[in-house]
Amino acid sequence: MTDAAVTMDFHPQPPPGQAKPWAFPVPGRGALGNGLTVLHCHRPGQQVVAVQICLDMPLDVEPDGLDGIAAIMMSALAEGTSKHTAEEFAAEMERCGATLEASADYPGARVSLEVPVSRLPKALDLLAEALHTPTFPSSEIERLVRNRLDEIPLEMANPGRRAAKQLAQELFPASARLSRPRGGTEDTVAPIDAAGVRAFYQAHVRPGRATAVIVGDLTGVDLDTVLAGTLGGWTGDAAKPVPMLPVTPAGTGRVVIVDRPGAVQTQLLIGRTGPDRHDRVWPALVLGTYCLGGTLTSRLDQVLREEKGYTYGVRAAQRVLRSPAPHAAGRAMGVSVLAISGSVDTASTGPALDDLWKVLRKLAAEGLTETERDTAVQNLVGSAPLKYERAASVARTLAEQVEQHLPDNYQAQLYARLAETSTTEATTAVIAAFPVNRLLTILVGDTSQIKAPVQALGIGDVEVVTG
């Protein structure tokens, strides 16, 4: 073959075929006698069934000074039950080919189970045992507490995690749970003990405040009978409403550098607070944020990666932290974080931030183009069938809807609303989300290399912290 000489036959770019209909599934809804809400969804071919137990237990309910007790309690559900020791329980689950994970996040807590459908009844039986009769042995709680204390420095060594911790601390007042790490700090985790964990469980875990989401190929599964014999045996008091403290987000345009001497890259996290999904602006915000930094061909990476090579990739995204029911008293309490994140080589920190701000200013001055908006809609809406192939993906989105007090058809409606959102609406939303003069910039990197060039940009006062 000679050099760049091309010897193949070329054909014009082919047009698409006829699109086939697809819709995000709307789940069946029911309730068990014990008050447990059940959402179920049959997904043909998905042999691994995904189960999510959502507990209406936002982190606001943690006792003062014991941040992290929710996460420890959730992990401890599987570390000893009335019928099994911690080791036995884990082995029984794994003999089902099952994985079980528990987590506690700002909006609520979750247990996630994934298991081949052939072993679903057995795994649900074990799950019910963990929810209903955990024993919280002192020795296991001590182990989990020590493990958590050991994990904190590992997490904080990761520049992305460190930046996220700093952003939360800067965005919210210290009194707000949202300002502090989900899993707590050394000071708040150390005093957690078995008695405290038991009391916390008693106060907050009950079927009347929980929803089970079950998604997968349920062919031949008599779900009502299976549930009655497993999660149906979980009992507890009637549900009490969860109080939620109001939050007034702080934050103006400024820069905080977390010093990492010798770091070869600077981790960027640039953001502020935004609304939750109940807000009418949400679809426009999703669309505008995607155009700004949703992918490699979005505005930020077009410049920072594909033109300048400063980074492996920078993304803009939103994450809901709290989302009460729309008719709850004091409705304006939903909150998300809107942020641009990525890492750039140390020497390029100043130039990369300069370019990043130029991208934002250009966006604010000129707005999005129709083509950009159309491509974004085609991607966000068009990719839904592939995004939701797995049962676990569907279950996660349904669980988020539950946790964020959204209607069962929320995701399906979101796609319809995205398709209706205009270029002007998306432009307005993204400019409001990332105002150039009011962004909080967290940089985890080598202060001696980056402080001066960052100060010179005039994007806000620069403060340096360590740790």
Partner 1 sequence: MCAPVGHTATEQAGPGGLTATEHRLDNGLRLVLSEDHLNPVAAVCLWYDVGSRYEVKGRTGLAHLFEHLMFQGSAQVKGNGHFELVQGAGGSLNGTTSFERTNYFETMPAHQLELALWLEADRMGSLLAALDEESLENQRDVVKNERRQHYDNVPYGTAFERMIALAYPEGHPYHHIPIGSMADLDAVTLDDARAFFRANYAPDNAVLAVVGDIDPEQTRRWAEKYFGSIPSHGGKVPPRDGTLPDIIGAELRVEIREEVPARALMAIYRMPRDGTRECDAAELALTVLGEGTSSRLYNRLVRRDRTAITAGFGLMRLAGAPSLGLLDVKASARAEIPQIEAAVDEELARLRTEAPGAEEMERAQALTEREWLDRLATVAGRADELCRYAVLFGDPQLAFTAVNRILGVTAEEVRAVAAARLRPDNRAVLAYEPVTSEDTAAPAGDQASAAEENDKRDGARQ
Return the residues of window 289-348 that contact partner 1 according to CB under 8 A: 295-297, 302, 305-312, 343-345
Region near partner 1 per CB under 8 A, out of 41-49, 219-227, 428-436, 450-458: 41-49
Question: Roughly how many angstroms between the first and final C-alpha of the chain, as a whole number?
Answer: 58
> For residue 291, with 0-12 CB atoms within 10 Å meaning exposed, 13-18 middle and 19 or more buried, which class applies?
buried
Instruction: Give the long-range contacts of residues 7-10, CB within 8 A, separation 24 or more.
Output: none
Within residues 12-31, the interface with partner 1 by CB under 8 A covers 13-14, 16-22
Judged by CB under 8 A, which stretch of 91-99, 164-172, 204-212, 402-410 contacts partner 1? Answer: 91-99
Please, what is the minimum distance in Å from the beta carbon of residue 283 to partner 1?
17
> Which of the residues 443 through 462 are near partner 1 (CB under 8 A)?
none
Residue number with CB closer to partner 1 (67 or 114): 114
Interface positions, 101-120, toward partner 1 (CB under 8 A):
114-116, 119
The 10 Å Cβ neighbour count of residue 382 is 15
Q: Which is nearer to partner 1, 136 or 310 (CB)?
A: 310
Taking CB under 8 A as the criterion, the residue among 28, 65, 83, 97 binding partner 1 is 97
Question: From the CA atom positions of the chain, what is the Rg in Å?
Answer: 24
d(CA 80, CA 90): 9
- Nearest approach in angstroms of CB 336 to partner 1 is 24
Q: Which of residues 228-287 bind partner 1 (CB under 8 A)?
A: 261-265
Among 96, 127, 194, 270, binds partner 1 (CB under 8 A): 96
Task: Give the shortest CB-289-to-partner 1 separation in angstroms.
Answer: 15
Size of the site for partner 1 (CB under 8 A): 84
Residue 405 gets the label, from left (phi > 0), alpha (psi -120 to 50) or beta, of left
CA 113 to chain centre: 18
Report 344-373 residues binding partner 1 (CB under 8 A): 344-345
Give CA separation, 209 vs 29, 68, 114, 170, 402, in Å.
15, 20, 22, 32, 11
With CB under 8 A as the contact rule, the residue among 29, 95, 280, 319 that binds partner 1 is: 95
Q: Would you say 14 or 220 has its CB closer to partner 1?
A: 14
CB of 214 to partner 1, least distance (A): 16
Q: Which stretch binds partner 1 (CB under 8 A): 30-38, 146-154, 324-332, 456-464?
A: 146-154
Distance CA 437, CA 72 (A): 40
How is residue 112 annotated by DSSP?
E
Q: Do residues 181 and 67 lie in contact, with contact meaning Cβ atoms separated by under 8 Å?
A: yes
Task: Provide, rounded to whole angstroms, the least separation between the CB of residue 254 and partner 1.
Answer: 24
Alpha helices (H) in 246-390, listed in sequence order = 282-293, 299-304, 349-366, 370-382, 384-387
Asked if 120 contacts 226 with a C-beta cutoff of 8 angstroms, the reply is: yes
Q: Report in angstroms how near the CB of residue 64 gets to partner 1 at its nearest.
A: 26
- The answer to whether the beta carbons of residues 264 and 65 sit under 8 Å apart is no
Per-residue x/- marks for partner 1, 48-67, CB under 8 A? x-------------------
* Interface with partner 1 (CB under 8 A), residue from 31, 83, 157, 420: 157
